[in-house]
Amino acid sequence: MKKLVFLTGAGISAESGITTFRDSGGLWEQYRVEDVASIQGYYRDPELVINFYNERRRQLKEVQPNDAHRLVAALEKYYDCCVVTQNVDNLHERAGSTHIIHLHGELTKATSTSNPNDPRQIVTLKDDQDIQMGEKAADGSQLRPFIVWFGEAVPMIEPAAEEVSKADIVVVIGTSLNVYPAAGLLSYAQQDAEIYLIDPSPNNVPGYLPVHIIAKKATEGMKELYQQLTRS
Ligand code: OAD
């Protein structure tokens, strides 16, 4: 089986009703990223940040995976697939993908403020379970969202780079490729890997790689690519 690695961003969940970050009307026009998505912001005002992610977690109940998530999962029948996602939603899981690397954490998990990457501190929450101020992790520190914020290390980048380096095909869907280290993952692709990018407004596409651009929304672009990738 050939190895197929997806790199996904907020755009794949846009048609499910989750707002992207940098499009017009995106989340970073409504909130200051340094207030709600940085480790400094969390230390300044933990309650604001905890509530911001509580709201995002509650939204998970209201949204469903779309055809792009479903077609990504369906390709497991034909390829050895891995989904590397910057998204903190659980729509890839709910669509049936079984090998997912979350680079920026997961809304459905919480961890400790003192040791956020210690596996013993990480707990799974229900889609609508809020984290409360004063609620403690196993090590006694404040429970916090299991999210990788600006200013923090990205522990899953190494396994993700390893997956990309072994891929025969890489499919990038719905990311502005603005945020590093995630945006640098394509540089790990083998020279002869086939690379596709699905995004209605592709930008920051590395010029040094032969990327096949499908300038369409995720659902439409994935339908087209699914047919191409399953044609024998
Ligand atoms: P962005 O909001 O930066 O980019 C979203 C991309 O999706 C853009 O390139 C859009 O053109 C594209 N897009 C919009 N609608 C789409 C659709 N229906 N189908 C396909 N593509 C569509 O989101 P990310 O690149 O995911 O991190 O952002 C990366 C990181 O920045 C996030 O993980 C988050 C954010 O700050 C943290 O908070 C740590």
Class of domain 19-62+110-147: alpha beta
What is the structure's pLDDT at 128?
79
What is the structure's pLDDT at 206?
85
Helix (H) or strand (E) holding 33: helix 33-36
Pick the CATH number of 1-17+64-104+153-232 from 3.40.50.2000, 3.40.30.20, 3.40.50.1220, 3.40.50.300: 3.40.50.1220
The answer to pTM > 0.85 is yes
Query: What pLDDT digit, counting tens, does each position of 98-129 carry?
Result: 999 999 999 999 999 999 999 999 999 987 79
DSSP conformation class of 98: -
Which residue has the least CA distance to atom 29 on ligand 1? Answer: 179
Q: Does residue 232 register a pLDDT over 80?
A: no
| Three-state DSSP class for residue 170 | strand
User: Which atom of ligand 1 is nearest to 103's Cα?
Assistant: 33
Q: Clarify whether 212 is annotated catalytic.
A: no
What's the CA gap between 78 and 68, in Å, rounded? 16
What is the structure's pLDDT at 141?
98
Q: Identify the residues whose C-beta falls under 6 Å from ligand 1.
A: 9-11, 14-15, 20-23, 26, 33, 37, 86, 104, 148-150, 174-176, 178-179, 199-201, 217-218
Q: Does residue 83 register a pLDDT over 80?
A: yes
What is the structure's pLDDT at 197?
98
Query: What pLDDT digit, counting tens, does each position of 176-207 carry?
Result: 999 999 999 999 999 999 999 999 999 888 88
The amino acid at residue 159 is P
Query: What pLDDT digit, counting tens, does each position of 15-50 carry?
Result: 999 999 999 899 999 999 999 999 999 999 999 999
The amino acid at residue 122 is I
What's the CA gap between 63 and 59, in Å, rounded? 7
Q: Is the peptide bond before 181 cis (omega within 30 degrees of 0)?
A: yes
Whether the CA torsion 96, 98, 99, 105 is positive or negative: it is positive
* Mean pLDDT computed over every residue of the chain: 96
- The domain ranges of the chain are 1-17+64-104+153-232, 19-62+110-147
